[in-house]
Each structure stands twice: as structure tokens, then as C-alpha cells.
Amino acid sequence: MSYSHQSMGSGSRSTRGYEFGRTYVVRPKGKHQATIVWLHGLGDNGSSSSQLLESLPLPNIKWICPTAPSRPVSLLGGFPCTAWFDVGEISEDLHDDIEGLDASAAHIANLLSAEPTDVKVGIGGFSMGAAIALYSTTCYALGRYGTGHPYTINLRATVGLSGWLPGWRSLRSKIESSNEVARRAASIPIILAHGTSDDVVPYRFGEKSAHSLAMAGFRQTMFKPYEGLGHYTVPKEMDEVVHWLASRLGLEGSR
């Protein structure tokens, strides 16, 4: 395998004292043109993400695959597992854990802040990882985290697989608050994909997320349904992501 791993040090604590796990890095096999942080789903880790991404024909991308903190999760009755934020039952009335979302978004931004200035940066993820990727994207557009602190990473692409959009109810009014915010929202390409047979994050939440983003002014949002697909990825879906990233990021040598 061509990926290496490293442990995050004491600077990797969230606001609640939960410590982020090990970060795995898949280094580019060709010229380094882009870096993407990829975020795993609930209960998973960065290692499994890195092994999936290492096989993709995207030689110009460096993948950074962090591991979420282990924390009690309401959905699991308080049982602790790796999670980017606390989450309950996925529903229309889902309460957003803004403190947890902000802590993870800041951790991701910190990972991207060390990248060279000529390298394009993006975020992607699966399930809960897709949710934090989309939340980070809204922070980019707004120029701030939910707590109001400045968000300074210049995101160039977002991928969300089998996930949902936290904070969807109030997003449109926030984006329409200023021309600069609206400009940033319109500038970032987003691809969402969701299986119609997903029994963990129901398909309608993926569809609603894409609709909410588009209505809020994220004009470059693409939504791809996958008929009969459950809560997992398949090669056809990953091929779509590969081609989309190569095109949107203008990568050389990708096939």
C-alpha cells in the first residue's frame, strides 16, 4: 500500500475534550494537484477509507482520512463509538449538534490549512461523514462556523455519499444574507449520491439535502440517485465520483 499513517497529537481535541483518532494519508502517485479530506461513517475509521481511496485512478489527489473521536451517540442509546458529532434518529425534526459539528469542521479545516497554496482542496465523505462534509461546505459559504468564528479554508469541491445536510431549515436565509456569501455558495461544485433502498439514511433525506442546497444558492449541486442501492457504495458510484472530481478540479492524467 502506498499510504502512510500518523497519530494526531494533543492538538486534536475537540471542544468537549473528545480526542480525534489516527489520520491516514494516501499520497498522490503523480503531480500533487489536489487534497481531499475524506470522512468515514458512524463507527468506522480513517483506515478503511484510505484503503478504498488508494485504489481509485486519481493519481493527482492526496487523500487525508482522519478518524472521528469516540463519543456517546444518542442514536445508539448513549453507547460510545467513533462519531463526528452526536446524532439521534434521522428525521425531519433532527436536532443538530452544532458544538460537535463545529469541532469536527475545525479539525478538518486544520488538516487542510497545511496544504500548499497552489493545491486545490476539497472535502468528501460517506453517511455521517457526508453530513460533516456538507456542513463544512456551508461554513465555507457563510465564512464562519455555527458559533460565529471565521472559516478560512477555500474549498473547491464537495462529495457527499448517502448522507444528509445539517442545518437545512435555516440555510437559505443565511446564504441570502449577503452578496459575498451567495457568491461563495454559487462557486463550489457539490455532488451528492444516494441509494433509493437506503434503510439507514433514507433516500428522501439525500434528495431533500440536494434540493435545499440548490434552493439556497449552491447552484453547482448535482444529485445522483442509485436505484436499489442500500447504505453502502458500489464501483459504479465511485467511478462517477472519480470522473466528476477529475473534471471539476481540472486534474491531469486521470482516466
pLDDT per position as a tens digit, 179-232: 889 999 999 999 999 999 999 999 999 999 999 999 999 999 999 999 999 999
Q: How far apart are CA 133 and CA 153, in angstroms?
A: 13
Q: How far apart are CA 23 and CA 7, in angstroms?
A: 6
Q: Is residue 11 included in any domain, yes or no?
A: no
Q: Where are the alpha helices (DSSP H) in the chain?
A: 46-54, 98-113, 128-142, 168-175, 179-187, 203-216, 235-248
Q: Is residue 204 included in any domain, yes or no?
A: yes
Q: How many residues does the chain have?
A: 255
Cα 12 to chain center, whole Å? Answer: 18
Q: How far apart are CA 213 and CA 227, in angstroms?
A: 22
Q: Is residue 10 included in any domain, yes or no?
A: no
pLDDT digits (tens, 9 = 90+) for 12-58: 544 456 799 999 999 999 999 999 999 999 999 999 999 999 999 99
Q: Is residue 157 included in any domain, yes or no?
A: yes
Centre a 10 Å sphere on the Cβ of residue 148 and count the other Cβ atoms it contains: 8
For 41, 57, 142, 247, the CA distances from 52, given in Å and listed in that order, are: 13, 11, 31, 20
Residues 6+ apart with CB under 8 A from 55: none
Q: Report the chain's mean pLDDT, rounded to a whole number.
A: 88
Q: Is residue 121 included in any domain, yes or no?
A: yes
Per-residue pLDDT, 254 = 46
Domain count of the chain? 1
Average of per-residue pLDDT across 126-151: 94
What pLDDT band is residue 4 in, cutting at 50, 70 and 90? very low
Domain harbouring 127, CATH code: 3.40.50.1820
Q: Is residue 242 included in any domain, yes or no?
A: yes
Residue 3 has pLDDT above 70, yes or no: no
Centre a 10 Å sphere on the Cβ of residue 30 and count the other Cβ atoms it contains: 13
User: Which domain range does residue 203 map to?
Assistant: 21-249
Residue 83 has pLDDT above 80, yes or no: yes
Burial per residue of 215-249, b for 16 or more beta-carbon CB atoms within 10 angstroms, e otherwise: ebbbebbebbebeebebebeeebbebbbebbbebb
Q: Is residue 36 included in any domain, yes or no?
A: yes
Q: How far apart are CA 171 and CA 153, in angstroms?
A: 19
What secondary structure letter does DSSP report for 247? H
